[in-house]
Structure 1
Amino acid sequence: MVRPEFLKSEPRAERPTRGPGSGTSASTDAVGESLKTRMMDEAPVGITIADATQPDMPLIYVNAAFERMTGYSPSYAIGRNCRFLQGEETREKPVRQMRVAIEEGEAVTVELRNYRRNGELFWNEVTIAPLRDDTGDIAYYVGFQQDVTRRKRAEQAAADRAARIEHERTAQSRLLERLDGVVADVTEAVALASSPGELRQEVVRSIADTYTGAWIGTYDPATETVELRVADGKTGSEIEAIPVATGNTGARSTNAVVAAAVDDRHVRLESIGPDEPNEPAEAAAVAGVPLYFGEATYGAIAVYAQTEELRRHERDVLTALGRTVAIGINALESQRTLRGESVVEFQLTLGDHPLGSFAEALSCSLQHISTVGDRGERSLLFELDGAPAVDAERIHAAAEATGVTVHAVLVAEADVPVVEVSVDETPLEELLREYSGELCGWAVEDGTAIATIEVGREALARSLAADAMEQLANVDLRSYRRREETHETRREFVAEIESRLTERQRAALIRAHTSGYFEWPHETNGDELADSMGVTRSTFHQHLRAAQRKIAAAILDR
């Protein structure tokens, strides 16, 4: 080990014993020069001594700890300035602090990034202090180096974690502040809306005010599509009907995201590129939010956002919003059903129904006119449309072959005969009773029976349609819609009937009613009424029968 001159041992002179009160430290006498040198050589921290009298302040001493820490041997380090430990990642600030301290002859402690001989970076805590000679001039600079990489990494990890926590806290705080408004607005819209249309409008407006844009669509189970109803904000090009069963789970388009959300009833979040067709350039992500309650699926909401931050934070919020909107739609539709304002109407095609076989045997179609129930069972009145040269005998033969009961053949000689028939109960009627459905219309086209069904509740209607397609053979859903019920007042009904009557027909009806003509025995006769009107008896009866037919038609039409 090379040592500077002031560290080399000199002959030890006898020194007087120092007693209490002496001006010299007791440790000075107890520790010899050789022990001091050994302490420096074997110290657990790196120690260096630089010659301050030389222009570049070369090192004249390094201990073993320095070599272990840096990988540089004394033979390499001595004679060089200690800047050989610096490199590309060494920052200028701590180096400048040491330079200033040396220029001012002061001690300083800094932390800087140094390089070991093998190129590995490490954090070095360096303390330098001046050593002066007898004249007071700085002759040496002693340095103490300590590898603090582990501590610095721990500090950096703690700082990173604190920064992440703070970032997360700030993001969540902003999120809560931002979403508080949309949650409150959507909840208020659901609570105050008087119709599903108004609810959809206000919900989309509230969401678009918070995000880039949004649209809401309704689900049609007959076509398995979501059709846009209301849009607000920036939503790209016009949205068409979205087929739900896409099967393309890897696609990032709005269509695929919304379809997947409706299909599996979970909020879907995907990033979208600014150059993707039909997508708004202002949005970086889209969320598909399904709207469902119980077994009923009402549709979906598409939400466009400027950043992908919603992927990490807002799934649960959007799920809750979707549930809130669906519950609101369900409640409004339930209220409308209870008030009789709307019903769900759908049509089922029945491939293996006796009515289809009956029409096919006659090579015609059946148009349902009405249903009557005076025989202890409901029977159906049909027009035989397009039947070539049909007669009563042929009608009865076709009915017997297909399991249809013919009760009567009316106006058989006309171009369009009318038949009254009934069929045995099928499993469809059992489902109608189970789900409170009403079979309100029939048609038969190309050998296929088409049943028109009405159900008051959305959930019941969907369940009825689903069970019919699952449990009955050759059954498909042809159409599905919610139909608004019109409530006609008594005054409106009377006005409608009167609008159908001519003045003569109305006069004949009023005179007959007020004079007791409809009572038995008659309080008056046709001749008297005809005379009161100044017409013949046959003309009076023509006017009266025409008025009666129009009244009957007005009642049966409803």
Structure 2
Amino acid sequence: MTRPGNPNADSGPTRSAHASESTRSASTDAVDEALKTRTMDEAPVGITIADATQSDMPLIYVNAAFERMTGYSPSYAVGRNCRFLQGEGTREKPVRQMRAAIENEEPVTVELRNYRRSGELFWNEVTIAPLRDESGAVAYYVGFQQDVTRRKRAEQAASDRATRIEHERTAQARLLERLDGIVAEVTEAVALASSREELRQAVVRSIAATYSSAWIGTYDPATETVEPHASEGDVGAAIESVSVAAGDDGERSVETAVAAAMTDRRVRLEPIGPEEPAEAAAVAAVPLHFGEAVYGVLVVYAQTEEFRRHERDVLTALGRTVAIGINALESQRTLRGDSVVRFQLALASHPLGSFSEALSCSLRHTGTVGDRGERSLLFKLDGAAEVDAETIHDAAEAADVSVHSILAAETDTPVVELSFDETPLAELIREYSGELCGWEVSEGVAVATIEVGREALARSLAADALDCLSGADLRSYRRREQAHETRREFVAEVESRLTPRQRAALVRAHTSGYFAWPHETNGDEIADSMGVTRSTFHQHLRAAQRKIAAAIFER
């Protein structure tokens, strides 16, 4: 009888009568049952086996990936029908498809919404296939599960984005029926631009051709200033940056106009000041905002004060058109992975800050490992050479932090592997599709570095964090263009080749000074921290090193 859990044991093309016995042995006998079982247990996708001979088809096997994905342990899942993953959000159609395939004894692949043990909804791509016994009757059903939530969210986001762009195009068409001249010129410049810089230059050229002169500035929410980026014509004395907090107290009329326009999100008009261009009579600041995202300001100089009374609608249309162009460019670059917004949030109240303060040292984030039931972080304790293990554990308990292991304990900078319960910041990052890239912790303050692909999402995430998190402060905020191939992409590609154990062994070895000479730690110490034998640790480490070398030389 075919062994459950080995759906391929009796499959494959018919062998030639001339095939040698050694060939058959190499493809079947050489792979023992233990290796087949280990392959299923360590597979990166969820695998389940259900007993088709029982009325409710209970599960008789689930692998580790299934438990990681759903939160349900084998002791809970085995003996139950897999419908315990379903709930109110599960649509009936894919369930009917699976039921029909089982009745027809056929394989099928569906995508449906399931629930983790925590109650969290996720998209599950499920493939089920029948396994037959020696008589040809279906004895088992093997299932493969893969979490495709991120892909489904990306598809939905792309659909929503296309709908919004289509709505904006419709609104823009109505606008152009009412306005012509300068709006048409700027719209053409926006449509033809392939980058933000090209868009800025084209817009100010179009404006200056009709009015006296113009410049565009970008808003930096971390410093609350507008930084000029592109100009055309005489814009008067040089402007390095304009504080949005200046309001009506700006020293120059252009500063007053810019600050008011950014604060009120409306066009602000001001008579020209003594330090402004001599041929100009008025200046207008036009906020560039799309939805909740404020990209900056367009400053326009006019030669007559008639400009102040008759052209507010035209300026509003200009700002809207430019903002739509910037948003469209951002969307394109986000889809291609060409740009990202990176900012830092300082948190005065965080478990890492409390842990650092209790030890009177700084924490330097050096890696993240995922071979436990929860993600754990590796930190070097800078300035904690005299701190012993007992002190570290006491500080962790006081800060509500879990210490899993202490590596390189006898060196000047011990390495601590720790984890902590999910914080509101982690929930916000997940909600806005952000990525937590690292931590810097000192003097009781934890600074998180966060990356978000869309500027609108980045601004919303930063704003919500400042509103919701006590003592939060925005330290820096900048847009970063990525070149192909980026370091992050290469690292992600290499890491995709590593198993969780291989990556964990590599990170721990590197962080704890195992590769230094003389060794700052030894294989026994690292193996103990992983809960494996020294020989197993070395097997994982050598496998990881081989894969890294292969990735480098394949380039």
Q: Same fold (TM over 0.5)?
A: yes
Deviation string 1:197-218 (CA, Å, 9 cap, x unpaired) is 1101110111111111111000
Matches within 5 A, 1:96-107: none
SS in 1 for 2:329: helix
Give the equivalent residue in structure 2 for 1:187.
187
For the residues of structure 2 that align with 1:197 and 1:485, how far apart are their CA atoms?
15
Which of 469, 474, 489 is the aligned partner of 2:471? 474
Cα displacement (A) at 1:486: 3.0
> Which whole-Å CA distance do the structure 1 matches of 2:285 and 2:448 have between them?
35
1:318 matched to 2:315:
yes
Q: Which residue of 2 aligns with 1:338?
A: 335
The 8 Å contact of residues 252 and 271 in structure 1, kept in 2 or not, is answered as no
Secondary structure at the aligned position of 1:255 is classed as: helix
Secondary structure, counterpart of 1:430 in structure 2: helix
Following TM superposition, by how much is the alpha carbon of 1:482 offset from its aligned partner in structure 2, in angstroms? 1.3
Verify: 1:263 aligned to 2:260, yes or no.
no
- 1:174-323 matches, within 5 Å, as 180-248=180-248, 253-273=253-273, 276-277=274-275, 279-323=276-320
Contact preservation (8 Å) 1:252, 1:270: no
- Matches of 1:213 and 1:367, distance apart in 2: 49
CA distance in 2 between counterparts of 1:237 and 1:214 reads 13
- Report the residue type matching 1:266 in the other structure: R
Change (3 A) 1:383 1:227: same
Change (3 A) 1:489 1:269: closer
C-alpha contact 1:217 1:230 (8 A) present in aligned 2: yes
Partners in 2 of 1:373 and 1:348 — Cα distance? 24
Q: Which residue of 1 aligns with 2:422?
A: 425
Aligned to 2:246, the other structure's residue is in SS state coil
2:183/2:317 contact within 8 Å kept:
no
Paired with 1:330 and 1:417, the residues of 2 have a C-alpha distance of 46
SS in 2 for 1:248: helix
1:374 to 348, 353, 371: 371
Pairing 1:449–2:452 present: no
Please say if 1:400 is aligned against 2:400: no
Instruction: State the alpha-carbon separation in 2 of the partners of residues 284 and 395 from structure 1.
Output: 67
RMSD after superposition: 2.9
Cα deviation, residue 358, structure 1:
0.6
Q: Residue type matched to 1:192 in 2?
A: L
Larger Rg: 1
| Secondary structure of 1:344 counterpart | strand
Find the aligned partners of 1:330 and 1:480 in 2 and give their Cα distance. 18
Q: 1-side partners of 2:550 and 2:272: how far apart?
A: 59
Structure 1 residues 446 and 195, CA gap change in structure 2 (3 angstroms): same
Partner of 1:354: 351
Amino acid at match of 2:350: H
- Which string of whole-angstrom CA distances, capped at 9 and with x for unpartnered residues, describes residues 317-360 of structure 1? 01100000001001100111111111111110000111011111
Aligned partners of 2:413 and 2:251: how far apart in 1?
A: 55
1:488-539 Cα offsets, whole Å, 9 max, x none, are 289x969xx9xxxxxxxxxxxxxxxxxxxxxxxxxxxxxxxxxxxxxxxxxx
**CA distance in structure 2 between the aligned counterparts of 1:552 and 1:394, rounded to whole angstroms:** 40
CA distance in 1, matches of 2:402, 2:247: 47
Amino acid at match of 2:286: V
Task: Report the CA distance between 1:551 and its aligned residue.
Answer: 3.7
- Please tell me whether residue 327 in structure 1 is matched to residue 330 in structure 2: no
The match for 1:434 is: 431
Whole-angstrom CA distance in 1 between matches of 2:209 and 2:258: 20
Q: 1:262 to 1:193 in 2, by over 3 A?
A: same
Residues 418-454 of structure 1: CA deviation (Å, up to 9, x unaligned): 1111011111112122211221211102210001111
2: distance between equivalents of 1:209 and 1:387? 63
Q: Could you tell me which residue of structure 2 aligns to residue 363 of structure 1? A: 360
1:462 Cα shift? 0.7
Query: What is the CA distance between 1:280 and its match in structure 2?
Result: 1.3
Contact 1:379–1:420 at 8 Å: present in 2 too?
A: yes
Tell me the SS of whatever aligns to 1:269: strand
Q: What is the Cα deviation at residue 548 of structure 1?
A: 3.5
- Deviation at 1:376? 1.6
Q: Distance in 2 between matches of 1:466 and 1:335?
A: 24
What does 1:82-101 correspond to in 2, within 5 Å?
none
Q: Aligned partners of 2:441 and 2:546: how far apart in 1?
A: 27
- What code does the residue aligned with 1:353 have? H
Equivalence for 2:461:
464
Cross-structure match for 1:158: none
The letter of the residue matching 2:322 is: V
Gapped runs of 5+ residues in structure 2? Answer: 1-175, 495-537
Looking at structure 2, the residues matched to 493 and 444 of structure 1 have their Cα atoms a distance apart, in angstroms, of 27
3-state DSSP of counterpart to 1:246: helix
The percentage of counterpart residues that share the same residue type is 75
Question: What is the distance in 1 between the residues matched to 2:433 and 2:349?
Answer: 23
1:42-84 deviation line (CA, Å, top 9, x unaligned): xxxxxxxxxxxxxxxxxxxxxxxxxxxxxxxxxxxxxxxxxxx
Residues of 1 paired with 2:316 and 2:262: CA distance?
A: 12
- What secondary structure, in the 3-state scheme, does the structure 2 residue paired with 1:205 have? helix
Letter of the aligned partner of 1:342 in structure 2? S
Match of residue 3 from structure 2: none
Q: Secondary structure at the match of 1:280?
A: coil
- Counterpart Cα distance in 1 of 2:380 and 2:485: 29
> How much has 1:314 moved relative to structure 2?
1.0
Secondary structure of 1:326's match?
Answer: helix
Taking the aligned partners of 2:251 and 2:403, their CA distance within structure 1 comes to 57
Report how far residue 485 of structure 1 moved: 2.4
Deviation of 1:182 (Å): 2.5
In 2, the alpha carbon distance for the partners of 1:551 and 1:414 equals: 28
Secondary structure class of the residue paired with 2:365: strand
One-letter amino acid matched to 2:259: A
Q: Retained in 1: the 8 A contact 2:248–2:259?
A: no
TM-score of the aligned structures, taking structure 2 as reference length = 0.56
| Structure 1: 4+ residue segments shifted above 3 A | 249-252, 544-555
Give CA-to-partner distance per residue, 1:454-475, whole Å, 9 cap, x none: 1111111111111111111000
Unaligned runs of 5+ in 1: 1-175, 498-540
Distance 2:282 2:223 in 1: 28
Q: How much does 1:192 deviate?
A: 0.9
Q: Is the 8 A contact 2:385 2:414 kept in 1?
A: no
Whole-angstrom distance in 2 between the partners of 1:396 and 1:285 = 66
Number of residues paired by the alignment?
Answer: 328
